[in-house]
Amino acid sequence: MEKREAAVTIAAVSHYLGWCGCRAPWAAADWLRRALEAHPAWEKEHAQRAVWGEDEGRAYVLRYMLDHAALTEHGGSVGGAWLTERGKRVLAALQVPGAIEEWTESHDLYEEAEVIVDPWRGWGLGGPDCTRF
């Protein structure tokens, strides 16, 4: 994945998650990268604790949010979630060198990202499956 495509993917996920982009969006994107890298939990429990912290409530709020955004899915418990194809694609974008910086510095990604976000709306609520994202 090239840097521009990765930046558009990051723009789409941040847009879908409702990030306004003020203050330190690169820090939020970097946390999301680390959170997605820490899945699946049963294989990387120590890595997850380093990302989520020791507060079980906070950890579950964040896990639920990733699950709702269809970046992860789970069987018996969200604590043992794994990455979806979308989660893998977002993680790959977040790992492209310079992509997070490209996203935070570029102001012309919105239209490209909106095409990705549109089919994503309603995911988990009976909406369409956006397999290309």
Tens-digit pLDDT profile for residues 10-57: 999 999 998 988 899 999 999 999 999 988 766 777 777 788 888 889
pLDDT for 125 equals: 41
What is the pTM for the complete model shown?
0.84
Domain boundaries, the chain: 3-120
Buried b (16+ CB within 10 A) or exposed e, 27-46: eebeebbbbbebbebeeeee
**Helix or strand run (H / E) with residue 8:** helix 3-16
40 vs 50: CA distance, rounded Å: 14
CB 101 within 8 A of CB 26: yes
pLDDT for 122 equals: 58
Q: What is the pLDDT of residues 68-126, one digit of tens each?
A: 999 999 988 888 889 999 999 999 999 999 999 999 999 789 888 988 887 776 554 44
